[in-house]
């Protein structure tokens, strides 16, 4: 397990297991919000095997013990990029042409 905290965004993440390169995440379960509970907690699952991957805590400094945050691995300014890489980037991956490769012109079937 790995516990990280981005103090600039006040987001903490408890990874239950490492995410493999290219592994798709989803769905994410937003745990029920309560007016007396500050922040939000989301549980991430793997789209491949359906197992829990990690928990994200927003407003972490308000809803988590200070001692826990003090011992967290700091990822200031990087948490959103990491979440993007884990969640969105695999969905956007497309085949890219090799540099310098030219597109083949379409042939039109024109009858004369």
Is residue 73 situated within a structural domain?
yes
Is residue 62 situated within a structural domain?
yes
DSSP element (H, E) containing 45: strand 40-46
Is residue 52 situated within a structural domain?
yes
Is residue 97 situated within a structural domain?
no
pTM (predicted TM-score): 0.67
Is residue 96 situated within a structural domain?
no
Domain that holds residue 31: 2-91
Is residue 15 situated within a structural domain?
yes
Per-residue pLDDT of the chain (112 residues; tens, 9 = 90+): 999 999 999 999 999 999 888 888 888 998 877 777 778 899 999 998 999 999 999 999 998 999 999 999 998 877 556 666 666 666 666 555 555 555 555 555 555 5
SS3 content of the chain, % helix, strand, coil (to 5): 20, 30, 50
Is residue 107 situated within a structural domain?
no
End-to-end CA separation in angstroms for the chain: 70
pLDDT of residue 102: 58
- Write the CA distances from 38 to 45, 50, 97, integer angstroms: 23, 28, 47
DSSP element (H, E) containing 14: strand 11-15
Domain count, the chain: 1
């Amino acid at each position: 397990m790995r516990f990280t905290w981005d103090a600039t965004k006040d987001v903490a993440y408890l990874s239950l297991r490492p995410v493999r390169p290219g592994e798709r995440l989803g769905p994410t379960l937003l745990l029920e919000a309560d007016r007396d509970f500050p922040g939000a907690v989301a549980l991430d699952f793997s789209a491949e095997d359906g197992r829990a991957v990690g928990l994200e805590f927003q407003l972490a400094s308000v809803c988590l013990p200070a001692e826990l945050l003090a011992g967290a691995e700091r990822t200031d300014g990087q948490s959103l990029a990491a979440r993007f890489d884990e969640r969105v980037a695999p969905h956007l991956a497309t085949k890219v042409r090799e540099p310098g490769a030219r597109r083949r012109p379409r042939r039109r079937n024109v009858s004369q």
